Structure 1
Amino acid sequence: MIPTDQLTDPAVRAFVTAVNSNDPSAFRGTLTPDATMSDDGSDEDLDQWAEKEIFAANGRMEVESEADDGHSLIANFHNDTWGDMRTKWRFTVDGGQVARFDTGQA
């Protein structure tokens, strides 16, 4: 596992830190105002998805590996709804914030 504070990209590092801290305000601060996302190939409402999959369900990420200058992660994601899942994450970063992320099972 890669410790969160050793992730390459500062915006991705802040995103993972906010998820693992279960901090919706910090999470929102890592995103551009018009950020978008998809889950398993389907675009989702980012705020509704984050509340359901991360904050209400105690979501946590343990990063296994990173690639593409830190913009692609393989992570073990756990939440109280689905349990443990091996997931992939792809981040588009703009101006030091996450403009889009795509996640799904790896």
Structure 2
Amino acid sequence: MTIPVEQLSEPAVRAFVAAVNANDRDAFQGALAPAATMSDDGTERDLAEWTEREIFSSGGHMDVEAQKAGGLSLVVRYRNETWGEMRTAWDFIVDGGKIARFETGQA
């Protein structure tokens, strides 16, 4: 069962997921705090390089299966043209209504 994007509890996370699914770089940047950071499977990554490779140039898409912690923690069926589909966990830190940090990895 998938949770529709518009039903995600946290507005900043909702904007992030909507931007990923629309492949909208401008909306994605708008969802992030200016100095946002991220990690993938516990390794710090360059956010711009990672998102271009894993989301935008590879058609990334998030189907949210579950949310907890007020919408700051998601379990997602994530797919892109590089890796196919995998079950992933996404944890977000929001500051001032923007995503300040996200951590993702296999769920």
Please give the range of the TM-score, normalised by the shorter of the 2 chains. Answer: over 0.9
Instruction: Tell me the distance in 2 between the aligned counterparts of 1:32 and 1:9.
Output: 15
Give SS of 1:13's match: helix
Q: What residue number does 1:71 align with? A: 72
Which segments of 5 or more consecutive residues in structure 1 lack a partner in the other structure? none
The aligned counterpart of 2:102 is 101
Once the two structures are TM-superposed, the CA of residue 28 in structure 1 deviates from its matched residue by: 0.6
**TM-score scaled by structure 1?**
0.99
Q: What is the RMSD of the two structures over their aligned residues, measured on CA atoms?
A: 0.3
Number of the residue aligned with 1:56 = 57
* 1:31-67 Cα deviation digits (max 9, x unpaired): 0000000000000000000000000000000000000
Rounded Cα–Cα distance in structure 1 between residues aligned with 2:27 and 2:8: 17
Note the 1:14-93 alignment, pairs <5 A. Answer: 14-93=15-94
Q: Look up the SS of the partner of 1:81 in the other structure.
A: coil
* Partner residue in 2 for 1:8: 9
TM-score, normalised via structure 2 length: 0.99
Q: Distance in 1 between matches of 2:34 and 2:13?
A: 16
Q: How far apart in 2 are the matches of 1:45 and 1:30?
A: 17
* CA distance, structure 1, for counterparts of residue 96 and residue 34 of structure 2: 12
Q: For residue 55 of structure 2, what is the amino acid of its counterpart?
A: I
Q: How many residues align?
A: 106
Query: Which 5+ residue runs of structure 2 have no aligned equivalent?
Result: none
Percent identity of the aligned residues?
58
Runs of 4 or more, structure 1, over 2 Å off, are: none
